[in-house]
Structure 1
Amino acid sequence: MKPLGRQNTHVWLAQRMAQVTKTDLVLAMKKAQLNQDDWAAMVEDCRHCDWTEGCKKFLALQIDAPAQVPPDACRNQERFMALRVALEEMDT
C-alpha cells in the first residue's frame, strides 16, 4: 500500500483544481451542494492519488487559460463536474 500524501498538500491541490475548473467550492457549501464531510472525502481521495506530480504540472500550466474540465487522471473529476452542474442549474 502506498503511503498517503500530505494532507495540506492535497487540500491545496484540490482547491487549485476547483479553481482552474471554475468549481466554486464556497458557493457549493453556501448552497448546500457540498458539506465538510464531502470536502474531507475529496481531499482524502486526492491523498490516495498516484498522479500527484502530474497534477502539480497540469495545474502549473493553467495560469493563463484555466481548464474547464479536470483531467481524466483526477480522482475527483466527477465530483468537480457534478458540483459545477448543480450550481449552474441553481442559477437558471
Structure 2
Amino acid sequence: MRTFVALLISVFVGCAPLTLGTPFKTDPQKIKVAHHTKKDVETMMGQPFRKSVDAKGREIYTYLWADGKGDGVKCIVAFNEEDKVMFVEVVR
C-alpha cells in the first residue's frame, strides 16, 4: 500500500506544471549599469539561480522565474572586474 501511494504521488507531481522560483523582488530593469554593485543586486533580486564566470574572470548571475503556465522571465546580470554591473538582459 505504501508503495502504491508513493507511486501515485510521483505521477501527480511529475505531471504537474513546473513552477520555478518566485517572481523577482525588484523589477530587473531598475538595475543601473555601472552604478549598482554585486551586493546591491543580491539585495534587490535575492540569490541567483546560477552564478558563473566567463573567460576573463567576470562573474555572471542568472535569475529564472517560471509560473508553470507558460509565463516566465530570465534575467542575466554581468559584472565587471570592479564588481559593478556591466550589463543586464531580461528575456520574457
Alignment TM-score > 0.5, same fold: no
Q: Who wins on radius of gyration, i.e. which is larger?
A: 2
Q: Is the helix fraction higher in 1 or 2?
A: 1
TM-score (norm 1): 0.25
Q: Is the strand fraction higher in 1 or 2?
A: 2
**Structure of higher RCO (CA pairs closer than 8 Å, 6+ residues apart):** 1
